[in-house]
Structure 1
Amino acid sequence: MTDAPYQFFSVEVLRTERVTPSMARVVLGGPDLARMATAGRDQRVKLFLPRPGEREPVMPDPARADWYDAWRELDPEARGIMRTYTVRELRREPNELVMDFALHGTEGNGAAGDGGCGGTAVDAASGPATRWARAARPGARISVLAPVEEENAGYDFRPPEGTDWILLTADGSAVPAIAGILESLPPGMPARVWIEVHDPADRQELPTKADAEIVWLTRDHHAPPATVDAIRAAALPGGIPYAWIAGESATVKAVRRHLVAERGFDRKAVRFSGYWRRGASEDHLMAAAEAA
């Protein structure tokens, strides 16, 4: 796979830290990370986690270009558990891959069950990614399918030339992507941001050179999402907008509907991704897609 835009990387945990009560950071290292690339922003990669009792995940032949078919051909009870996550940071000197894992025990996905087919996954407390992130210790090994070119198909945030301002919304599962996007914005770019978390302690600093107004929303696990109402009540800037929406699928659709139908946003200027679906795991979503 040396000429492929995506390649497999074998990595191991270097260290971990708790960013917030509901966000664990895992810093990964490996001899080949110098070849890995990222576009920043909401760059997606595939993580392959070991099964319980395994030291590292069972993986397909890395020389096969049809990696997904090769992975599916492996014994489902033995092959590495695949999840989709957003790169928080790819560092140089030394080469380190930083991944943040949302740990909410009642939400789906990367993060009830595992979800996250679009970016960062949030696992339920019983989900394999959350279990792995909570237990990760230096030396633990996983595999990553990641780009080797900065320009790749694994990210969605692509505001066109002429965009006057940016609108971003997310829940806890998409905070790493929001962080990457904010870091990528040019100095002074107006940005309106809404992020919904379950506890005020889950707020974190999000560095940016943009002229960003960040609103943190907090709601109880059993309360309806507050994002749509907050945006509906807001006075938005004039000019040509570009919106990026990610998080729980139903909330994402509701925000998109409001922006297009009520605010008059051009559909092509709204990028949306359901990172997880309440009650559905990434395994369930992949199975449904294959059945369709």
Structure 2
Amino acid sequence: MTAAPWEFFDLNVLRTARITPTFVRVTLGGPSLARFASGGRDQRFKLFLPRPGAREISVPRGEGAENWWPAWQRMDPDERAVMRTYTVRERRRDPGELDIDFALHGDTGPASRWAATAHPGDPVTVLGPVEEDNPGVDFRPPADATAILLAADATALPAVAGILAWLPPGTPAKVWIEVPHAADRQELPTKAGAEITWLCLDEMDGRPAAPLADAVRATAPPGDTDTVYAWLAGEAGTVKTLRRHLVDARGIDRRRIAFCGYWRRGTTEDDLIQQAIAAEAAA
């Protein structure tokens, strides 16, 4: 059996910082982090948090990382750790630190509540990669890609930052990022030839229903549509609309579009997890 490219990492909060009105950065550390091998770009991982009022983080350690998902499903929902999916904002090796940027949305979700009140020393468990080339990276442009298109809302901003930092020097890229506030704009270091458009909801009259989709539809993709590579992430309905537009109206091969619904309007991540469990049981 091939060893899983994942491992559980027991870490602690080192510090937190409110970097914009919407985002808080939580920096994690711990001896085991030395084995964490981020693949960069939109590297995702599973974050496990203690249940409210608890300090222990209950995850299926004895099942092996390759079997964690079915083992986690079998655990008592009232006892197993709260699980969410996040993207690496930055992984540093000297000192060993892992930054996670949380898009805060009040008291409506356990991860948002945790990030807003996290303190140094608080425990957290991460299921993360131990190999740089791992299935948690979706941004994989083909060798013939000559230009990049990125479209994301605030939840995918950390992934956009990772992608821009990774892109080779001079790579043409058009980038659209929707954020709640003008003050949520961030410096996004890159050597690519990136044209970044910030769509700030608090600067828009009347709050259009689909600012990200509207902006992408109003502008031609960069470069040749036969060799462009697109990456779309954010609210699931918006991502679906954007993908359909790029395929049907712009003629981009669907195989050259990576897309991921980071969240779904009117649905919590716990709802999505239960839907996934139910679908597997039905299958």
SS in 2 for 1:129: helix
Q: Give the match for residue 255 of structure 1.
A: 242
The whole-number CA distance in structure 2 between the counterparts of 1:236 and 1:72 is: 42
| Residue 230 of structure 1: aligned partner | 215
Identity, % of aligned pairs?
A: 60
Q: Post-superposition shift, 1:62?
A: 4.1
In structure 1, how many angstroms separate the alpha carbons of the residues matched to 2:61 and 2:222? Answer: 51
Could you say which residue in structure 2 is the equivalent of 1:176? 158
The gaps in structure 1 that reach 5 residues or longer are 106-124
2:49 aligns with 49
**Any conservation in 2 of the 1:174–1:247 contact (CA below 8 Å)?**
yes
User: What is the match of residue 146 of structure 2?
Assistant: 164
Instruction: Name the CA distance, whole Å, in 1 between partners of 2:190 and 2:56.
Output: 36
Q: How many residues align?
A: 273
Q: Distance in 2 between matches of 1:238 and 1:201?
A: 31
Distance apart, 1:61 and its partner CA: 2.5
The Cα offsets for residues 223-272 of structure 1, whole Å up to 9 and x where unpaired, read as: 41211221222133332100000000111011111111001111100111
Measured against aligned partners, the alpha-carbon deviations of 1:138-188 in whole angstroms (never above 9, x if no partner) come to 000010000100000011000000111000000000000000000000000
Instruction: Determine the C-alpha separation between the residues in 1 that align with 2:276 and 2:74.
Output: 17
1:63 Cα deviation from its structure 2 partner: 4.8
Matched residue, 1:118: none
Corresponding residue for 1:117?
A: none
2:91 corresponds to:
90
1:128-277 correspondence runs (5 A) = 128-219=110-201, 223-239=208-224, 240-277=227-264
**After TM superposition, what 4+ stretches of structure 1 lie above 4 angstroms from structure 2?**
none
Q: Which has the higher helix share?
A: 2
Show structure 2 runs of 5+ residues with no match: none
In structure 2, relative to structure 1, the CA distance for the partners of 1:61 and 1:233 (3 Å cut) is closer
DSSP 3-state at the match of 2:124:
strand
What residue number does 1:78 align with?
79
Counterpart CA distance in 2 for 1:63 and 1:73 is 11
In structure 2, relative to structure 1, the CA distance for the partners of 1:209 and 1:291 (3 Å cut) is: same
**1:285 corresponds to:** 272
Q: Could you say which residue in structure 2 is the equivalent of 1:31?
A: 31
Instruction: Supply the distance in 1 between the matched residues of 2:118 and 2:25 (Cα, whole angstroms).
Output: 10
In structure 2, the residue matched to 1:40 is 40
Please say if residues 153 and 178 of structure 2, whose CA atoms lie closer than 8 Å, have aligned partners that are also in contact: yes
Q: Which amino acid is the alignment partner of residue 41 of structure 1?
A: R
Counterpart Cα distance in 2 of 1:95 and 1:170: 29
**Aligned letter for 1:253?**
K
Q: What letter corresponds to residue 58 of structure 2 in structure 1?
A: V
| Local SS of the residue matching 1:280 | coil
Name the SS for the 1:96 alignment partner. strand
User: CA 1:236–1:60 in 2, change beyond 3 Å: closer, same or farther?
Assistant: closer
**Residues 104 and 53 from structure 1, CA distance in 2 versus in 1: closer, same or farther, beyond 3 angstroms?**
closer
Q: Residue 73 of structure 2 contacts residue 277 of structure 2 at CA under 8 Å; is this kept in 1?
A: no
1:219–1:225 Cα contact (<8 Å) kept:
no
Q: Is the Cα–Cα contact under 8 Å of residues 28 and 97 in structure 2 kept in the other structure? A: yes
Determine the C-alpha separation between the residues in 1 that align with 2:175 and 2:42. Answer: 15
